[in-house]
């Protein structure tokens, strides 16, 4: 285990931010296991009450994965799934890029538990699920692939994205999907004002998919 990964693991703490991925203390578990198509692959997945989109792969994630280009890399790479939910994006990435390490980040403990269970049930051992939004910034990522928690609010979302986008390697990229009716264009404008280049890859089915990179000066 690398020193950076050890630091990241040791400093991961539960985020106290309350949003629609958060888990109410009194919410009973009702796990359901089924076969589900993620991208072009079928996985055995377990979902539960209290997590985002428990009955299906949500439309935003489908749009994101459907427009995600092949990720260029030389050997090993680190990918962050920010707002991982029960792990749809993580499962897809881990199965597509066997040499990558996929880090699933979410504030919902139940969601992270499901991601870990789904990784094991699909024989994917390159997903790390022990992280939350308050994790250390010592680790860097080659890619961030995210259907972020837009409903936490404008300012909290901006804070969240800036925190993790700063963890991209110098040549790293982020691919995010945002609902057009929930501020996709204004978020893209805000990112450009904060020295990021934003390229729109798709605008369909109520969503926009953006490729985001840090501008170099």
Parse the chain into domains and list their residue ranges.
Answer: 3-15+31-214
Q: Per DSSP, which regions of 73-166 are E strands? A: 77-82, 100-105, 127-131, 141-146
Look at the domain 3-15+31-214 and name its fold: Rossmann fold (3.40.50)
pLDDT tens per residue, range 75-94: 789 999 999 999 999 999 99
What percent of the residues of the chain are helix, what percent strand, and what percent coil, each to the nearest 5? 30, 30, 40
pLDDT of res. 122: 97
Averaged pLDDT for residues 144-170: 93
Alpha-carbon span 146 to 82, nearest angstrom:
5
pLDDT of res. 11: 35
pLDDT tens per residue, range 3-38: 444 433 333 333 333 344 455 556 788 899 999 999
What is the model's pTM? 0.86
């Amino acid at each position: 285990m690398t020193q950076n990964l050890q630091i990241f693991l040791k400093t991961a703490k539960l985020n106290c931010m309350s949003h629609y991925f958060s888990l109410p203390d009194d919410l009973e578990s009702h796990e359901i296991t089924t076969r589900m198509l993620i991208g072009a692959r079928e996985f055995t997945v377990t979902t539960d009450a209290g997590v985002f989109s428990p009955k299906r792969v949500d439309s935003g994630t489908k749009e994101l994965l459907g427009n995600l280009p092949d990720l260029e890399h030389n050997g090993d790479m680190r990918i962050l799934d920010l707002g991982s939910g029960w792990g749809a994006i993580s499962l897809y990435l881990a199965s597509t890029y066997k040499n990558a390490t996929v880090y699933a980040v979410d504030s919902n403990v139940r969601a992270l538990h499901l991601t870990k269970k789904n990784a094991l049930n699909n024989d994917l051992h390159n997903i790390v699920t022990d992280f939350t939004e308050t994790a250390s910034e010592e680790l860097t990522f080659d890619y961030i692939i995210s259907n972020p928690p837009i409903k936490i609010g404008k300012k909290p979302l901006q804070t969240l994205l800036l925190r993790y986008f700063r963890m991209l390697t110098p040549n790293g990229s982020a691919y995010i999907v945002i609902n057009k009716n929930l501020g996709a264009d204004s978020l893209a404008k805000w990112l450009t004002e904060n020295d990021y280049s934003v390229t729109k890859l798709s605008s369909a089915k109520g969503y926009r998919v953006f490729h985001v990179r840090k501008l170099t000066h």
